Amino acid sequence: MLIESVEAMRDLGAKLATHLQSGDVVVLRGNLGAGKTALTQGIGRHLGISDVTSPTFVISRTHKAKIPLIHVDAYRLLGSTSQGFEIDDLDLQTARDNAIMVIEWGEEVATRLHEDYLLVDIAFGAKEDERIVEFVGKGKRWKSFQL
């Protein structure tokens, strides 16, 4: 799927959110600046959340809404030199069942949180603002997902 602007990426996130429910895990894969946070902002917009920003420095943010949004940036955890500090230490499993969880850079940790998740692969396109987005369903819940 070709996305041609940041606002179109947010619109795609809002469209994706119409298919999401409590307990869902969405993993975003893409280089820095690919649009992972913009997609999450669109998901948040659909849920009535207007203040979604990258959780890079805090690692995880929970946004309150009818269905809460847990937004995680696992980038700093991937090469963490902190002995024993991992995604499990955030205790995300406890809150996940009643929320939608979006994890940037989370492909390595997703299976520890849930066997069913939607991987959203975002790659740079030929033009500056173009992105190529692919949805890859993992597990029964997402097996045949298409948007």
Closest CA to 59 of 86, 32, 99, 19: 86
| Residue 46, pLDDT score | 96
Q: Which of 39, 36, 37, 33 is nearest to 11 (CA)?
A: 39
CATH of domain 2-138: 3.40.50.300
Q: Beta strand 131-138 with 60-63: parallel, antiparallel or unpaired?
A: unpaired
Taking the CA atoms of 20, 74, 30 and 137 in sequence, report the sign of the dihedral they define.
negative
- The 10 Å Cβ neighbour count of residue 38 is 23
Top-confidence residue, 58 or 141: 141
Q: Report CA torsion sign: 128, 132, 103, 84.
A: negative
78-129 pLDDT tens trace: 555 444 445 554 545 556 678 999 998 767 666 666 788 999 999 999 998 8
Residue partners of 80: CB distance under 8 A and separation at least 6: 86
pLDDT, the chain, mean: 84
- 126 or 77, which is more confident: 126
Structure tokens at 81: 């030199």
**Encoded tokens for 29:** 């894969």
Question: What pLDDT score does 76 carry?
Answer: 60
Could you tell me if 6 and 38 are in contact, meaning their C-beta atoms sit under 8 angstroms apart? Answer: yes
